Structure 1
Amino acid sequence: MKPEGDFTHSLWEAIQPVYNKLIDHSFVNKLADGTLAHTSFAHYLSQDVLYIRDDAKALKELSEKAAKSTEKSFFISLANDGIAIEQELHNHFLEHFKVIEAKEKSPVIKAYTNFLLEHSAKSSYGIAAAALLPCYWIYYVVGKHIVLNATKNNKYQKWIDTYQGDEFGYYTKNFIRIVERIAKTASSTEKEKMTDAFVTAGKFELNFFNEAIMK
């Protein structure tokens, strides 16, 4: 997924060290070749349910900061889709992969969701949007990498297939465009804070893989 202008290009450049670690991560490689331990995948999937629930809350909060009606509607749609995805995970994926529902957040997911909810509630529209973008952008590009490198008869194929939908790519591209638009009228200080929030969120994504692979 390409940047949509100079600012989002700078965001992607800033997150390259994190992205490179994600692409080379043993969680990603083992998921792609089907050798990932079930305990690691179960931790990831069960915690992802809890993450998505709070991500939807943060997106709804973000929508209330949007001045443009189109952007407000966009983030409401993302929030509603997040709720639908959570239900899909509950109704199909946890049972399919024999994963027990998590009762509480792991340390990383608790810190990550607190970070997102804090920004969506208290930060400016631009900073909050930049904080929420990595989940989409990183998930999309790492997901495509996994799809391209997945082995045949992969026991996690049902999950890997979730990375292939066109709708998620559409959402990601539009999210990047919104952040680029916001940056066009942002001060240099605001853009620095947006970059910091973006990179920090990316590090949380990496920390989630680190946590899962240790299970």
Structure 2
Amino acid sequence: MLHRKLMAVGEPVLRKVQDHPFWSGLRDGSLPGEALACFVEQDTAFLLPAYARALARCAATAPDDEDTLLLGQSIVGTLEARDRLRRTYADLADELGLPKLGEPRPVDPATHAHASFFAAASARSFNSGVGALLPMVWFNAEVSDRLKRDATPGSRYLPWIEVYHPGESYRYAVQAFFDMVDRAGERCSTWQRQLIVEQFSIGVRYEWAFAECCVLQPPWPV
């Protein structure tokens, strides 16, 4: 099955992402509040909306209704997650001593590149798009599970981690994306299958780059 090949490609990068100072700092409470503020701002203002639009493009070109339904449901889920993240951050900012979010700062170059990648891949073809979109779904599940499982007791960010986790039912969405990719792999040509792998391979590296840009941001204005 194609998704197993993709997992083998992505797992070394997933380990790097899991161990990145952004995610490890959330687990042990050492992450500067400015880095989490940057993450929420860049994710909700730029990356998640771009992801939702890429899902919509793939839904419009999906070869069957099952894929269209999954992608349509994912659009709703993505935009609801965006709103939930901003609302949760605002609710917890004072309690956790986090910077307030005001007007969004300019998009970070890494975020802009990531969002542009979603747009270009989904505009190219359905196969290109699903290869590009899969890493965010899969990595989100793995990162969220480890955050919840391995968070240091008493960590500053435990309240955030509890709300950030998308819930146990999210695993069904990940499996549904794997199944969609497997169906695409079965009906496409060899070069189209390779395109899925190539776009996926690029997408997993953007997941690391996004975490990196959040910890390298200049000081947050007060």
Q: Deviations over 1:36-63 (max 9, x none)?
A: 1111111111111021111111111111
Number of the residue aligned with 1:12: 7
Aligned-partner Cα distance in 2 for 1:168–1:110: 26
Distance change >3 Å, CA 139–CA 69, structure 1 → 2: same
Contact 1:62 1:129 in 2 (8 A): yes
**Selected match of 1:62 from 51, 58, 61:** 58
Contact 2:128 2:195 in 1 (8 A): yes
Contact 1:144 1:164 in 2 (8 A): no
Distance change >3 Å, CA 26–CA 183, structure 1 → 2: same
Q: Deviations over 1:91-127 (max 9, x none)?
A: 3324523441424321111100110011112x22122
SS of 1:153's partner is coil
Q: Deviations over 1:147-198 (max 9, x none)?
A: 1110123222233122250232221110111001110122221111111100
SS of 1:166's partner is coil
- Please list every run of 5 or more consecutive structure 2 residues that lacks an aligned counterpart in the other structure: 94-98, 218-222
Number of the residue aligned with 1:141: 142
Partner amino acid for 1:135?
M
Number of the residue aligned with 2:125: 124
- Please list every run of 5 or more consecutive structure 1 residues that lacks an aligned counterpart in the other structure: 1-5
Aligned-partner Cα distance in 2 for 1:99–1:58: 29
Contact 2:121 2:129 in 1 (8 A): yes
Aligned-partner Cα distance in 2 for 1:33–1:42: 17
Between 146-155 and 112-121, the greater mean CA deviation after superposition: 146-155
RMSD over aligned Cα atoms: 1.6
Between 103-112 and 150-159, the greater mean CA deviation after superposition: 150-159
Contact 2:58 2:125 in 1 (8 A): no
Contact 1:45 1:94 in 2 (8 A): no
Between 180-189 and 129-138, the greater mean CA deviation after superposition: 180-189
Number of the residue aligned with 1:3: none
Partner amino acid for 1:59?
L
TM-score computed with the length of structure 2 as normaliser: 0.88
TM-score computed with the length of structure 1 as normaliser: 0.91
Number of the residue aligned with 2:205: 203
Partner amino acid for 1:174?
A
Aligned-partner Cα distance in 2 for 1:173–1:13: 16
Number of the residue aligned with 1:92: 88
**Aligned counterparts, 1:40-119, within 5 A:** 40-49=35-44, 50-97=46-93, 98-101=99-102, 102-119=104-121
* Deviation of the 1:142 alpha carbon: 1.7
